Amino acid sequence: MKIGVLGSGSWGTTLALVLNENRHDVTCWSYKQEVIDDISESGENSRFLPGVKIPDSMNYTTDAERCIYDAEVVIVAVPSQAIRGVLESLPKEDNDKRIWVSVSKGIENKTLKRVTEVIGEVRKLPGEQLAVFSGPSHAEEVSRHIPTTIVSASTSIQTAELVQTIFTTPYLRVYANLDVIGVELGGALKNVIAVAAGICDGAGFGDNTKAALITRALVEMNRLGVKMGAQANTFAGLSGMGDLIVTCMSKHSRNRHVGEQIGKGRSLQEILDDMVMVAEGVRTTESVHFLAEREKVEMPISEQVYKALFEGKAPIEAVRDLMTRESKTEDWG
């Protein structure tokens, strides 16, 4: 198939490599010419995916319109807060027949919409032309053919299975799913919790703390997700628990890194200024704060992350407030 990949960061580059290996005709878009120059000169994306060779058969452009021209499938691998702007810069089409696949994990700040909702709104697409591709999948590992499993979700099983087919390889196993809301929220919400996990690491807490954090975070994710129309069991799957575990535990996790530095006492702006890639969890924390308010859903862990990031609350104080909340029975919801 002819496939356009909007975004040439670590994940966009990795997925383009997978598609290229599967013999699809892939064109990648980068908003920075220096990224394309680097790939042309060194044979790798040294800024975002160092050490991974990029074959000459992959095409690169700084022209987003050219990237999606004649494409049958478009992969959206742009940071979630920039997606609306990128899509609005493309020519309007009255009869867009492409399948659009979100691989970005976030919730738009101003509208509190999921990424597929933003894509559908801007491109005026029905649900059957939209999909989300999410799960425990660090680019650093997938690009090196380390066995990984992930979920392709759409309201149309045909669309979910199409995305499943184009990405499946001996090292990347893809499961089809119909719960777009659950899969998409799982990918976004776990980034907030990964920041919390990092705070625990930076503050010097132990395995007991992180195990409790991950377990109770699943309750929060399920609580908000079900309120917004997701299926509860989705959060026990790859795009929920699976992605939560890998993002909270991994050395590759940018969101966990941000939290770890917060836990060590650094300011958020100082941390972000030092980072090359985007940590989606920071902006998603804002969205989740207001989503929880709008939906009237109790999310104590996410709320403490919001206070630590944006109100300067000390991590030790945040954990103490979580531990000394009113005693309750353990439940799932």
Give catalytic residue positions. 190
Name 156's Cβ contacts closer than 8 Å, sequence gap at least 6.
127, 128
Distance between CA atoms of residues 298 and 317, nearest Å: 19
Secondary-structure percent of the chain, ordered helix, strand, coil, rounded to 5: 55, 15, 35
Rounded-to-integer distance, Cα 146 and Cα 171, Å: 6
Distance from C-alpha of 313 to C-alpha of 304, rounded to nearest angstrom: 8
Strand pairing category for 148-153 and 130-134: antiparallel
User: Cα(325)–Cα(333) distance, rounded to whole angstroms?
Assistant: 17
Q: Which residues make Cβ contacts (< 8 Å) with residue 28, sequence separation at least 6?
A: 4, 5, 7, 8, 12, 13, 16, 58, 59, 60, 61, 67
Give the tokens for residue 46: 């040294």
| Three-class DSSP category at 29 | strand
Name 280's Cβ contacts closer than 8 Å, sequence gap at least 6.
Answer: 79, 80, 104, 105, 106, 188, 191, 254, 255
Neighbours of 160 (CB within 10 A): 25
Which run of H or E residues covers position 229? none
